[in-house]
Structure 1
Amino acid sequence: MNLPIPLARAQTGFRPEALFRPGAVVLVGDAALPETAIILGNLAAGGFQGRLFAVGVAADGFECFGAIEDLPVSPDLAVLCLPPEAQGQAMAALAAKGCFAVVVPVAAPDLVALCEATGIRVFGAHSFGLCLPTVGLNASLAHLPPKAGKLALLCQSAAMARAVLDWATGEDLGFSHIIGIGTNQGIGFALALDWLARDAQAGAVLLDIRRIKNRRMFVSALRATARTRPVVALRPGGRQSDASGTADAVMEAALRRAGVLRATGFEDMLSAVETLARVRPARRTGPDAMAGDRIAIVSNGQGPAQLAADAVVAGGGRLAAWGTAAAQALAVLLPPASTSNPLILPPGQSHRLAEAAAILATMPEVDAVVAIHAPAAGADSMVAANAIVAAARATRGAPVLVGWLGHATAEAGRQMLGRAGIAVFNAPEAAVRGALHLAMDRRNRAAAAELPPQDVLRLVPDRTAVRGIIDAVRQSGRHALTEQEALAVLAAYGQPVIAGEAAADAAEAAEVASRLGFPVAVKLASPDLPRKTDIGGVSLNLGDAGAVRLAAQAMLDRAARHHPDIRLHGLLVQRMAGGGMPRGHELRLRLGDDSMFGPWISFSRGGTTSDFEDDIAFDLPPLNRTLALAMIRRTRGARLLAGFRDLAKVDLDALADSLVRLSQIAVDFPEIADLIVNPLLARGAEVVALDASLTLRPAGAAGVLAIPPYPAELSQGWTARDGRSLMVRPIRPEDATALAEAFTQLTPEDVRWRFFSQIRALPPEQVVRMTQIDYDREMALVAVEQRPGQPDRLAATARLIRDPGRDSGEFAVVTLPGWKGQKLASHMIRRLLHWGEAQGIRTVVGQVLADNQPMLGFVRSLGFSVKRSAEDDEVMEAHINLRPPVASP
């Protein structure tokens, strides 16, 4: 391995701008490598607006040099096309020259070590390259020149990138960015996503994901990006790595939490991109419009329309329905067409397809219109296509997606529609799939931004008891807990469990059963039997002591005879959970682990056949009640929980609480590898765990959540000067209502000083952004009055937002009028600065209006320096250093 001498850290200086807004680019290449010639040609033909250098190769359009040291300026970005044995020296020379952003499109087996030694950040190895069409940069292995546009592509596979580029060129779609992550040994998805989240040039974002390095950074950046634009993700190889489908389901859950649409395959991805890159959803109000899946179909032929209608129903969408008045209006406007959905134009009326689609798009009962055109004898299809283009430009309302059927006579019309920016497909089902993608994207992003209710499940778990159980299990040399131990862990978190006692033998089991009361269940107690029924280790509904003795002894004898190697810890005797009518539901909860996204939670029907259940909902911890309820309702079996024949109705809030408790166990004890509750008996408000198994990770191993948990350890009480008490704690999503109410108590002057403008109310999307935060990159503290039996009431808020990928952050603070003069703001800012130091933040800045003298005096008293902004005379900038830079050796 050819490693350079490490550079002093003070010399490193990677900047994201060097990647995405370069002014000078150098290709360091070996002419013998095929990648060198491809990238040389693409760079030269791209029309880059900055300076292009070449080292080691000569080409027209470049300033050519023999060595990196000879370059007249420090390039922002380098493309390294060298064999592995030459890469170390080149990267050391680039770092010495001041270039710390590199793209590596070739093999680089020592890339991680080279980056660590030089401080350089890379896309690669085997990166497709980097395309920024808006500035003419094409430093990639592309076979076609990408057109400038709004689509951003982040890919690991170069072949996938070329396939998407080829398709987009045919569809006349352009790109703002094409970023080749490659094998993800250097810069990963998170930094690129953080950039795209703030870059106005980027529209819809497309991800090709095979491997992520840091699940928490990835989900955090993904969530930030999806707040402002559609994101579609594809994962090749998911089923290959896990044929059960669990890995795919967990990834879909992670993407859903971030507000991202997951594509199931290449065709599905292209359909989603075709829609989301060209179409914006309609703004509809009312509970029936939230799903966004009410689709109206209009066609010039019955067969294609019926295929489209079938696709809507099969895809889980709804055929839009309108009332008598709307039908009468359609009859007047579109005689003699039908007035139902699908709406069928009569023969010879193909040219009115655009008119009909435009009318349907204005109807409040319609979220999307699918217009289907089939070739018609004697009709000029280009007239119909031109009419659709004109109507699409003039129409305001629901989006119109077009299915333009055929090939020989249809291709010209499809191309014209695509060039006009219309989402056009070659089949009715594909157009419907596009409309359903639009609805799914809307639902995912709305769910990610949903404001939860104020009620919070206030857990008071006995963590000490759980720690004692786990320590005892480890001391005994086990990784698996017995059923009784696993149930005790659940009980420590407030989860009702079935009463039971251990028994050493059959005789003691009969005594325990008599004490508990009949009927009872008797089970073998063994850490080696997660499924005791597999060996006949469970007997139910035993009605007297004699039956218990016989069943218990038979179980023990059978185990000793057929399974002599398992460890037996006697028997567990449990009172049978409430007999009689109505019958309870047997459910299953599980905490598991995924290699890419870490701990996950699933919910499904339970019982002895639950391993074959395919109706399973997945999500990632941490969960709150809102997320847990949504998880339950995603299963088809959720309909049974409302009560069905002899099955009882279930209190969904009580069931959701069980999921929240399981989530908190995952947060508090990351050494748990697997925890299964099966069955969980649910009937009315009774939700009780009847059986559980729990397995620990190896000593020292811990699961890492993809989503940071609530940092409850930062909560502290505080007493004001006048003796009033508050709790200062991190903000949480359930504070949304309290935050909106607190805003109404601010004076107009406070609002202008805090938000730099006069606004009457916080928009819901801003409330979401301020309450649903990523605790790894941002901290918001709230000072609250805790009122028994009522939601917390806010007295002040303060936040510190870390700049992604940097060691600086920006602060803000506001105190309600009734709490000013109590030193509350000082306490909260000092707490935030302490948090920032722990996170590695070196500098904190804030903007203050120049006439806000109270705030200027406040920040100065905390040690901030203040100067006038160079960009706005009415704004002052406050600045403080939390930690001095590391001195050069």
Structure 2
Amino acid sequence: MPSMIAIRGTASFRAAAMFRPRSVVLMADPAAPEAAIIARNLAAGGFKGRLYAIGLPAEGLIPAASVEALPEAPDLAVLCLPPALLEPAMAQLAARGCLAAVVPGSAPDLAAISARTGVRAFGQGSFGLCVPSIGLNASLAHIAPAPGKLALVTQSSALARTVLDWAAAESVGFSHVIGIGGNATIGFAMALDWLARDVATGAVLLDIRRIRNRRAFVSAARAVARTRPVVAIRAGGRTADHSGIGDCVMEAALRRAGVLRVSTLDDVLSAAETLARVRPRLGGGPDSARGDRIAIVTNGIGLGQLAADAVLSGGGRLAQLSPEALAAFEMLLPEGWRPGNPLSLGPATGPRIAEAATMLAALPEVDAVVAVHAPAPEEAGDVAAEAMIAAARTGGQRSAPVFVAWTGQATAGRQRQAMAQAGLAVFPTPEAAVRGALHLARDRRNRAAAAELPSREVLELAPDRTAVRRILEAARAGFRRALTEEEALGVLAAYGLPTVPGRLAAGPQEAADAAAMLGFPVVLKILSPDLRHKSEVGGVAVGLSSTAAVKAEAEAMLARVTARRPDARIEGFLVQRQAARALELRMRLGDDPMFGPWIGFGQGGTAADLAEDEAHDLPPLNLTLAGQLIGRSRTARLMGGWRDHAPVNQAAVADALVRLSQIAVDFPEIETLTVNPLFADSLGVLAVDAHLTLRPEGECGVLAIPPYPAELARPWRTRSGEVLEVRPIRPEDAAAHAEAFRKLDPEDVRWRFFSPLKEMAPTLVARLTQIDYDREIAFVAVRRAPDGGEETVGVSRLIRDPGEPASAEFAVIVLKAMKGQGLGRHLMERLFEWGRANGVREVLGHVLADNAPMLAFVRSLGFTLKRSAEEEEVMEARLVL
């Protein structure tokens, strides 16, 4: 090997070289334990490209003396080398133009080596990479994965082998098996970005231990989940964080991305079985939105009841069958039996289960069917299994999916295998089949929630950021990371959140004077930076109704607290006007090592921690997301009112959560902020107590989801003198975006979307309005209506290529009534400005060859044009910024 000096080549990394290589080189030390396994798998995989080996004689691989001696620059390298030899090997590869690698073994400095050489790698400890459709098996697999539509992205080699072993028995195939390993240079984001564009991938399984780039992960996961199911498991979440907060925050992050989180290996395999074989039915009325109305058919009453119990305990619903539907099943039942759900056909009726399952699947009130079969005497079990296979083949996309529970083993095992090979979702127990059906329902709800179109309502905030800055600077000047309660409430007040009136008092007499000014009754609190929970040491008194009572309590409190905590620094008292009776809530801003700032909401008061009622989400929040967060807490049921308690103003609570979210966006130096209690009643909310801590000097939190770039909004004047607002698009623009589309000429629609769309589907509207502001930008030109509403009159968009972020594709469209005003040019110039600021060097676009106005427009902007090599009717426009 040559010297350790890292040498960068002139090539750039290409995702296709990693995931669709035409040539692969194995560079191996024969003593490396992984080398022989990977060499054997490479040779046996039937790879359609060329395979080379350096350092290890391997049958089926073309030997080469060195990287320089290879007849071509390989696309992908697999490095089974000692850590000391990795950098020189990667330097040689970079010099030849190979920048994609897999590192199965130890590589503690892989990130630094990658930065120096430019070679990006899966590892350290990567399971490897399998792409069965091209015969690539550069992995440590003990079983070669078959081609299929399931993608597995994992950090655990043990889990990968387990899933592959299960899949071989269940006849489940894979589009990709990707071993992330230590996630040092290439992680989940790049893998998910590739899978999002891969038409052969129908569903994705994720095994997550560590996320290196939280923003890139959430964005890429969301891109995949928009078009296919994604299921994730995280082992060790509770072990790493005994409080469970980190686990809850991960679930919140996955939920925002539309990913289904599961907790056990059984759930992973059940989800894999479901997602590899089953798709939800198309269409359905409003009651089908949850996707969890399950019908059960069985040849054994007991097994049917077990399935029904599993549906209800899992949060699903037993489908309510109409009288007409029930009447149709009477001919399948023994004499004297009555139809219901579960529908029990009686023993020795195996073949009839398939017929009944098909009939149930066709009912509009059914979202999924669980068909449960038990072995029966004098029954031809093989015939029953064949009937189930035949029935499954007759179901269309508008039929509900069927989950088969084929119980037993001695005879049923062989029959289950036959059904699995035929593509049925088949399970060994009723509970497992129900779990599969509920996974599908949860996935449907998760993805729908992630793409939910919010209302037009935007909470327009006008916080006093200068006041907050002064408060935080005062704490820093005093070398304090913890703010006083008065300071913390001041931060909330600066963001428009109602706070209880209060005054500081140096001693007992001053506290009594402050109480007289505020009015009675009052609450008295000790002030100390060393007392996080003042009530635990007798530092809070309520219901004080006279100056004498306040003075006496202040003296007693001072003595009480000093006796219990002699080390605590006492800085006086806080006197507050006592709020009226209300529901006590708590909202919190915290920080997670993996996903950054999070928001928690739930029951408040002194017993909040014991109640364990807290729902979590990630900032930024809008009103729709805040409402969903409230709904996930148990406290939401109390907010509807009970007995003599009036319903709480939930809109005011959602408003408070959005304001807390904006504090996290505007002041990333805040580490924690707790509001407890937040009083809530029918009139609104009132923050009574708050605690805020700052991060160490120089540290800032990084949100997993980029916030709305409000600073990019600007007014712009048309040639006719009308003033429009040009700003980044936001989710609340969904309705206006759809309305603008309806106003477009059909020809403009064809030119923009390359097809004659008549209406934008909600999923497309969500995709166009819910964007990742780190990866793309869309500017909308907005006209204000006299009633305060907004009309979108033009849109421009620039989307960066995840694999090559210096390149981005543009799109622009302007309503016919606004053409000739210079708006299109201005919208494009805003794109160029954003692109230059974010490292975009080249802007690309595709224009239909008959779109003469757009071709002339892009020429005037400096684009060069050439005909597309792939599509004769398309012109490629290119501009170097």
TM class, shorter-length = over 0.9
Match of 1:433 among 419, 435, 440: 435
Residue 655 of structure 1 pairs with residue 657 of structure 2: no
- Shift, 1:871, TM fit: 2.4
Distance in 2, Cα, partners of 1:179 & 1:196: 11
Residue 565 of structure 1 pairs with residue 563 of structure 2: no
For residues 504-519 of structure 1, what are the structure 2 equivalents within 5 Å?
Answer: 504-519=506-521
- Shift, 1:559, TM fit: 2.1
What SS is found at the alignment partner of 2:227? coil
Aligned to 2:448: 446
- Shift, 1:5, TM fit: 2.1
Instruction: Tell me the amino acid that sits aligned with residue 417 of structure 1.
Output: M
- Shift, 1:759, TM fit: 1.5
Residue 372 of structure 1 pairs with residue 398 of structure 2: no
Instruction: Tell me the amino acid that sits aligned with residue 437 of structure 2.
Output: A
Aligned to 1:137: 136
Aligned partners of 1:810 and 1:846 also within 8 Å: yes
Give deviations 1:556-598, integer Å, cap 9, x for gaps. 122223323222221111111125xxxx210000000101000
Distance in 1, Cα, partners of 2:250 & 2:450: 15
- Shift, 1:332, TM fit: 4.3
Aligned to 1:227: 226
Aligned partners of 1:12 and 1:120 also within 8 Å: no
Task: Return 265-274 or 334-343, whichever deviates more.
Answer: 334-343
What SS is found at the alignment partner of 1:558? helix
Instruction: Tell me the amino acid that sits aligned with residue 381 of structure 1.
Output: G
Task: State the Cα RMSD in Å.
Answer: 1.4
Distance in 2, Cα, partners of 1:541 & 1:192: 60
- Shift, 1:549, TM fit: 1.2
Aligned to 2:860: 861
Match of 1:644 among 633, 638, 642: 642
- Shift, 1:177, TM fit: 0.5
Percent identity at matched positions?
61
Aligned to 2:204: 205
Aligned partners of 1:469 and 1:485 also within 8 Å: yes
Give deviations 1:606-659, integer Å, cap 9, x for gaps. 000101122211000000111111111112221111101122201211111111
Distance in 2, Cα, partners of 1:554 & 1:785: 63
Aligned partners of 1:181 and 1:187 also within 8 Å: yes
Aligned to 1:479: 481
Distance in 2, Cα, partners of 1:167 & 1:325: 42
Instruction: Tell me the amino acid that sits aligned with residue 470 of structure 2.
Output: G
Match of 1:577 among 567, 576, 579: 579
Aligned partners of 1:813 and 1:825 also within 8 Å: yes
For residues 380-459 of structure 1, what are the structure 2 equivalents within 5 Å?
Answer: 380-396=380-396, 397-459=399-461
Distance in 1, Cα, partners of 2:11 & 2:557: 68
Residue 298 of structure 1 pairs with residue 297 of structure 2: yes
- The alignment's TM-score, normalised by the length of structure 2, stands at 0.98
Instruction: Tell me the amino acid that sits aligned with residue 18 of structure 1.
Output: A
- Shift, 1:377, TM fit: 1.3
Instruction: Tell me the amino acid that sits aligned with residue 614 of structure 2.
Output: I
Give deviations 1:528-562, integer Å, cap 9, x for gaps. 22211111111011122221111111111222233
For residues 763-842 of structure 1, what are the structure 2 equivalents within 5 Å?
Answer: 763-787=761-785, 790-806=788-804, 807-842=806-841
C-alpha spacing 1:480/1:231, structure 2 compared with 1 (3 Å): same
Aligned to 1:280: 279
- Shift, 1:788, TM fit: 6.3
Instruction: Tell me the amino acid that sits aligned with residue 63 of structure 2.
Output: C
- Shift, 1:511, TM fit: 1.5
Aligned partners of 1:362 and 1:398 also within 8 Å: yes
Aligned partners of 2:382 and 2:415 also within 8 Å: yes
- Shift, 1:175, TM fit: 0.8
Task: Return 24-33 or 88-97, whichever deviates more.
Answer: 88-97
C-alpha spacing 1:788/1:562, structure 2 compared with 1 (3 Å): farther
Distance in 2, Cα, partners of 1:438 & 1:16: 31
- Shift, 1:339, TM fit: 1.6
C-alpha spacing 1:787/1:495, structure 2 compared with 1 (3 Å): farther
Aligned to 1:885: none
Give deviations 1:711-755, integer Å, cap 9, x for gaps. 111111111111111111000000000000011111122112211
- Shift, 1:265, TM fit: 1.3
Aligned partners of 2:6 and 2:88 also within 8 Å: no
Aligned to 2:849: 850
Instruction: Tell me the amino acid that sits aligned with residue 591 of structure 2.
Output: D
Distance in 2, Cα, partners of 1:158 & 1:499: 58
Aligned to 1:346: 346
Give deviations 1:806-858, integer Å, cap 9, x for gaps. 02111011111221111111111111111111111111011112222221221
- Shift, 1:464, TM fit: 0.7
- Shift, 1:335, TM fit: 5.6
Gaps of 5+ in 1: 883-889
Aligned partners of 2:122 and 2:185 also within 8 Å: yes
What SS is found at the alignment partner of 2:360? helix
Distance in 2, Cα, partners of 1:3 & 1:574: 72
Give deviations 1:106-153, integer Å, cap 9, x for gaps. 111222222112110111111111111111111111111111111111
Residue 312 of structure 1 pairs with residue 311 of structure 2: yes
Distance in 1, Cα, partners of 2:475 & 2:854: 56
Distance in 2, Cα, partners of 1:262 & 1:834: 39
Aligned to 1:698: 696
What SS is found at the alignment partner of 2:520? coil
What SS is found at the alignment partner of 1:564? coil
Distance in 1, Cα, partners of 2:343 & 2:231: 31
Aligned to 2:35: 36
What SS is found at the alignment partner of 2:34? helix
Distance in 1, Cα, partners of 2:743 & 2:694: 50
- Shift, 1:287, TM fit: 2.5
For residues 124-203 of structure 1, what are the structure 2 equivalents within 5 Å?
Answer: 124-203=123-202
Aligned to 2:626: 628
What SS is found at the alignment partner of 1:139? strand
Aligned to 1:887: none
Instruction: Tell me the amino acid that sits aligned with residue 553 of structure 1.
Output: E
Distance in 2, Cα, partners of 1:593 & 1:433: 33
Aligned to 2:678: 680
- Shift, 1:333, TM fit: 5.5
Residue 123 of structure 1 pairs with residue 106 of structure 2: no
Task: Return 539-548 or 278-287, whichever deviates more.
Answer: 278-287
Match of 1:589 among 587, 590, 593: 587
Aligned partners of 1:585 and 1:648 also within 8 Å: no
Distance in 2, Cα, partners of 1:567 & 1:837: 53
- Shift, 1:686, TM fit: 1.5
Aligned partners of 1:604 and 1:613 also within 8 Å: no
Distance in 2, Cα, partners of 1:873 & 1:350: 57
Residue 604 of structure 1 pairs with residue 602 of structure 2: yes
- Shift, 1:2, TM fit: 10
Task: Return 683-692 or 444-453, whichever deviates more.
Answer: 683-692
Instruction: Tell me the amino acid that sits aligned with residue 316 of structure 2.
Output: G
Aligned to 1:327: 326
Aligned to 1:667: 665
Q: Which runs of 4+ in 1 moved over 6 A?
A: none
Instruction: Tell me the amino acid that sits aligned with residue 113 of structure 1.
Output: A
Aligned to 1:618: 616
Aligned partners of 1:3 and 1:88 also within 8 Å: no
Instruction: Tell me the amino acid that sits aligned with residue 786 of structure 1.
Output: R
What SS is found at the alignment partner of 2:750? helix
Give deviations 1:185-210, integer Å, cap 9, x for gaps. 12111011000000011111111111
Distance in 2, Cα, partners of 1:501 & 1:119: 60
Distance in 2, Cα, partners of 1:465 & 1:51: 65
- Shift, 1:320, TM fit: 0.6
Match of 1:533 among 535, 539, 543: 535
Distance in 2, Cα, partners of 1:465 & 1:732: 28
- Shift, 1:65, TM fit: 1.4
- Shift, 1:789, TM fit: 5.4
Aligned partners of 2:602 and 2:634 also within 8 Å: no
Distance in 2, Cα, partners of 1:294 & 1:216: 35
Task: Return 868-877 or 64-73, whichever deviates more.
Answer: 868-877
Instruction: Tell me the amino acid that sits aligned with residue 326 of structure 1.
Output: A
Instruction: Tell me the amino acid that sits aligned with residue 494 of structure 2.
Output: A
Distance in 2, Cα, partners of 1:647 & 1:273: 46
- The alignment's TM-score, normalised by the length of structure 1, stands at 0.97
Instruction: Tell me the amino acid that sits aligned with residue 695 of structure 2.
Output: R
Give deviations 1:222-272, integer Å, cap 9, x for gaps. 000111111111111101101111111110000000000111011111111
Gaps of 5+ in 2: none
